[in-house]
Amino acid sequence: MIPVTTTPTSSPAISDEEKRRQARAILREAKEEVLNILWDTDPNEYCNERLMLVWLEEDYEYAIRRLCLCRRSESTYLQKLHRIFGQYSEVIPECRGKEIRRNQRR
């Protein structure tokens, strides 16, 4: 599911290019996960897997943050991640805007 075990914790031995490659792999995996959930679930079902998208987005966001990319790269990958989950996540759009602004200040 989420490659948390393969993401480094600020290891200096891993190059920036390798970190970016891992971030792209995380984004690809997130896209596949969202597509699988949307394809396999019935939207009219009371308790379906779409409710997990919010938590999955947080997990993938954490995996990207653990890569310890530079601020600009991290911001770029997090924006791409939010676009992947954006319209399917149950978070209110106003709250998402506040989250993005808060992340950009860090």
Alpha-carbon gap, residue 91 to 99, rounded angstroms: 10
7 falls within a domain? no
Classify residue 10: in a domain, yes or no.
no
pLDDT in tens, the chain (106 residues): 555 445 445 556 789 999 999 999 999 999 999 988 888 877 677 677 777 888 899 999 999 999 999 999 999 999 999 999 887 766 545 555 555 555 566 5
Range of the domain at 84: 16-105
> Cα torsion at 41, 47, 53, 55 (round to 10°)?
-150
Domain annotation covers residue 54: yes
Q: Is 11 part of a structural domain of the chain?
A: no
Q: Could you tell me if residue 67 is inside a domain?
A: yes
Give the span between the Cα atoms of 99 and 41, in whole angstroms: 28
What's the total number of domains in the chain? Answer: 1
Q: Is residue 100 assigned to a domain? A: yes
- Do 26 and 57 touch, CB atoms closer than 8 A? no
DSSP 52: G
For the chain, the residue count is 106
Does pTM top 0.85 for this prediction?
A: no
